[in-house]
Amino acid sequence: AQKITQTQPGMFVQEKEAVTLDCTYDTSDQSYGLFWYKQPSSGEMIFLIYQGSYDEQNATEGRYSLNFQKARKSANLVISASQLGDSAMYFCAMRSLYGNKLVFGAGTILRVKS
């Protein structure tokens, strides 16, 4: 069975600073993908970034980067230069090559302070 663990229920960060949101995963599959989604207070799920299990380089998308450590089974999201609009719930999720669903963590609420 696959499992995603997000150990930080809530985080605060000062505007313009960087923040790391933790995600560890458990799977026996060799081929899988890791995803991060942002959920603002309006409720929609916004895709942020993706990392494949065989990707050698860490994924980056603008201010988002994924710190992928395969041996430790961690896929932490790093947000650089935080903005007030980054305040939201963040979900880590994974999907196996032969799986039929995304498995989600419980989420981390991020609050950016001005």
Partner 1 sequence: EAQVTQNPRYLITVTGKKLTVTCSQNMNHEYMSWYRQDPGLGLRQIYYSMNVEVTDKGDVPEGYKVSRKEKRNFPLILESPSPNQTSLYFCASSLRGRGINEQYFGPGTRLTVT
Binding status of residue 68 toward partner 1 by CB under 8 A: no
Binding status of residue 45 toward partner 1 by CB under 8 A: yes
Nearer to partner 1, 9 or 85 (CB): 9
Binding status of residue 105 toward partner 1 by CB under 8 A: yes
Taking the complex as a whole, the smallest distance from the CB of residue 36 to partner 1 amounts, in Å, to 12
Contact 60, 68 (CB under 8 A): no
Taking the complex as a whole, the smallest distance from the CB of residue 92 to partner 1 amounts, in Å, to 9
Dihedral over alpha carbons 82, 55, 31, 68 (to 10 degrees): -40
Binding status of residue 48 toward partner 1 by CB under 8 A: no
d(CA 56, CA 64): 17
Nearer to partner 1, 18 or 45 (CB): 45
Binding status of residue 30 toward partner 1 by CB under 8 A: no
**How does DSSP classify residue 44?**
-
Taking the complex as a whole, the smallest distance from the CB of residue 63 to partner 1 amounts, in Å, to 19
Nearest-CA neighbor of 92 among 43, 29, 42, 20?
20
Of positions 4, 13, 59, 66, contacts partner 1 by CB under 8 A? 4
- Burial (CB < 10 A; 0-12, 13-18, 19+), residue 8, is middle
